[in-house]
Amino acid sequence: MDIKRLHSCTDKQTPALIHFLPALIGLCIGIVLLPAMATGADIDSLLPTYHLLLFSKHSKQKIFIIGDSTVHRHATDYLINNAGMNCGDDNTTPPTIEGWGDELKRYAIHPENVTNNARQGASSEEYKTPPVNADVGHDRNWQVTRSLMEQADGGILLIQFGSYGNEKRLDPNWDDNDGPDWNVIEQKFKQNLVFYITKARGLGALPILVTPPDGRLDGVGSHADGFHPHTRGQFPTWIHEVGSDTGTELLDLNIKSNNEFAKYSDAVLLREFGDCHYNSGYVDRVHYEPQGAEKVAGWVKELACTQLTDRSLCAQFSTTNDKVIPEINLNGSYYVNLPAGEQFTDPGATAFDDHDGNISSNIVVHGVVHTDEAGEYPITYDVQDSHGNHAIQVTRIVRVNSGITVREDAEDGDIANWEVYDGDGNNDGEFDGLVTNIFDNEKHSQVIELNGPNGTDDGFRYYGDNDQDWNTPEESVISWCMKYSENFTVFVSAQTNNGYRIFVYQPTDNGMEITNNGARYRFSLGTDVMDGQWHTITRDLVADMYAL
């Protein structure tokens, strides 16, 4: 399968796709596809049917939490002495790292009734037995949790796991041919969740499933754009399926965290949720410093009071001691492209607080857009609730473009004006190219992906509206971003005083030449543009024409 990607370059302040009628040929690059997570035919037989237990008592109850390292984590001797872990800007010793379960008690009416017995590094299978390494918590296992629940005569059990064993669940390049059997993983993972649900109900407790929070992937960049890739594979889906099959209610922390992380830049995510790093250079974007764990625990409280039919868990949290921060959501896009001289109208934002409700009228906006001067202008939105809890600021970027016409930035999510054609010129009608609009993790934005399984037999063309050329003689500079790993050819067609001409750009070091009796101008872009990295290419068509 051959994949190429294109994107507008307005984030680099260069002209984007002006007079661009490309036929992109030679689309030969491999892509690693994530394996499809097939569901075993006998899955249903593994999931017994349960009657939903409705708890009418909303009074004081104990909360028990089991799960992995996003629920509980601490700085072990190995992390400090061997891996060299440091957190935050001050590099305090010992560093402090936590899970959301470690901070949940701050929201409880009776903090002493919250027992977080999750264990870092534990999968749904491994949690059943004590760890080999006591440094991660020898008493953090199911036997101990079960004993505590027996003594409490029930309670509420929160269950959050994001893996079955040691499979590389967060690696987007995981090759299923060398990895585990995902059908088996699905069955075993679901069996383990059913095991904890069954045991909790047998102890008279209310089980509640929790989907694991997303990781904060690197590459978000200096600005957010409202998109964040999912990092937990099929596990959140499987948790939903177990909840449905067993009548178990669920807190969707995965979707909640993904939506929240998408609002913020790299710098904000590191500051607000955690910046723990190691001697190897690795930055931990999965776990939290205390300020991050506190925010995620606040989301758990919010979800308990908004997503669950049974109010038992919600009733354990304080409604007067408000510590949950409000949330801001932008109206419209995180980026606004504005021609120079045009007036900017702010689409605004909304704000919601779990205690105060809609507090959009309290939002304070910072920033000024100078529409007469090209550049990027940040507009920042801030709000606090009645108890002084400040939201994490959300920023919109307004790009004032001077003399730039954006033809395609992919942010509309569609593939309008693109077409596939027979690129080898033999008119045999055999072409299977595919144009898609996808989210690119590295670019952290929508991009156009060109898939040419037949190599040079497939070409791709981008037209103006209604399949018409652009009649813009005053625009002679064209710029685009592309990521290719093998040979390609870009054609740009233009009408000149001497007739119709085609500008040809290729990844070679052969210089430039005129071919086809003067009808084609051929230029070299250098071979480094085939290194599989994003490159910005800018060409002045008039200058190119006179250079020959």
For 273, phi and psi rounded to 5 degrees? Answer: -120, -25
435 and 334 within one domain = no
Q: Is position 227 within any domain?
A: yes
Give tens-digit pLDDT for 492-544: 888 877 788 889 999 998 888 888 877 888 999 998 888 888 888 888 887 78
Band (pLDDT 50/70/90 cuts) for residue 358 is very high
CATH of the domain at 357: 2.60.40.10
Averaged over 330-349, what is the pLDDT? 86
- 73-82, 154-163, 245-254, 480-489: the lowest-pLDDT one: 73-82
Asked if 170 and 217 touch (Cβ cutoff 8 Å), the reply is no
Which letter, b or e, does each residue of 344-382 get, where b requires 16 or more Cβ atoms within 10 Å of its Cβ? Answer: eeeeebbbbbbbbeebbebbeeeeebebeebeebebebb
Q: Give the other-Cβ count within 10 Å of 148's Cβ.
A: 15
State the pLDDT at residue 37.
Answer: 33
Q: Is position 44 within any domain?
A: no
CATH of the domain at 82: 3.40.50.1110
Residue 349 has pLDDT above 90, yes or no: yes
Q: Where are the alpha helices (DSSP H) in 285-364?
A: 290-306
355 and 249 within one domain = no
Q: Where are the alpha helices (DSSP H) in 337-413?
A: none
State the pLDDT at residue 426.
Answer: 54
Give tens-digit pLDDT for 485-502: 888 889 888 887 778 888
Averaged over 226-231, what is the pLDDT? 74
Q: Is position 90 within any domain?
A: yes
331 and 288 within one domain = no
State the pLDDT at residue 473.
Answer: 67
Give tens-digit pLDDT for 319-334: 777 778 899 999 988 8
Give tens-digit pLDDT for 396-443: 888 887 767 778 888 778 888 888 877 655 555 566 788 898 887 777
Q: Is position 55 within any domain?
A: no
Range of the domain at 508: 3-32+407-547
CA atoms of 156 and 370, how far apart (whole Å):
55
245 and 140 within one domain = yes
Task: Give, in degrees to the nearest 5, the angle at Cα 245 between 312 and 194.
Answer: 75
219 and 154 within one domain = yes
Q: How many domains does the chain have?
A: 3
Give tens-digit pLDDT for 142-159: 999 999 999 998 899 999
Q: Is position 42 within any domain?
A: no
**Would you give the DSSP letter of residue 435?**
E
**Would you give the DSSP letter of residue 118?**
-
Give tens-digit pLDDT for 263-314: 888 888 888 898 888 888 788 888 898 899 999 999 999 999 999 999 999 9
Mark which of 349, 378, 401 sits at the end of a domain. 401
Q: Is position 248 within any domain?
A: yes
Percent of the chain with pLDDT over 70: 77
